[in-house]
């Protein structure tokens, strides 16, 4: 599964760096390093809905507050 986090300036201001760190920690805690590939991308052109994250190409809107819930529902439940 490929999870791509927008690290463009608008998403960065909304906490994308924190989200990346949260996701890295969650992937590690759940031993999913070989199943989940985390990467970053520049602006996805959808700043108003940021922080933008795609899961296998499907666009999701995240904030540091709902990242854990997102991980449970969209990643843990799908791997």
Rounded CA Rg of the chain: 11
- With binding defined as CB under 6 A, does residue 5 bind ligand FES? no
Distances (CA, A) of 22 to 14, 45: 14, 23
Q: Which of 11, 38 has the CB closer to ligand FES?
A: 11
Residue 61 is a binding residue for ligand FES (CB under 6 A): no
- From CA 57, how far away is CA 4, in angstroms rounded? 8
Range in contact with ligand FES (rule: CB under 6 A) among 22-30, 38-46, 53-61, 63-71: 38-46
Stretch that binds ligand FES, among 25-33, 43-51, 54-62, 68-76 (CB under 6 A): 43-51
Cα–Cα dist 11/73, whole Å: 22
């Amino acid at each position: 599964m490929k999870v791509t986090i927008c690290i463009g300036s608008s998403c960065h201001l909304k906490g994308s760096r924190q989200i990346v760190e949260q996701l890295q920690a969650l992937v590690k805690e759940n031993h999913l390093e070989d199943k989940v590939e985390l990467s970053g991308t520049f602006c996805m052109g959808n700043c108003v809905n940021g922080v933008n994250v795609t899961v296998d190409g499907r666009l999701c809107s995240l904030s540091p507050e709902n990242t854990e819930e997102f991980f449970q529902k969209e990643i843990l439940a799908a791997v």
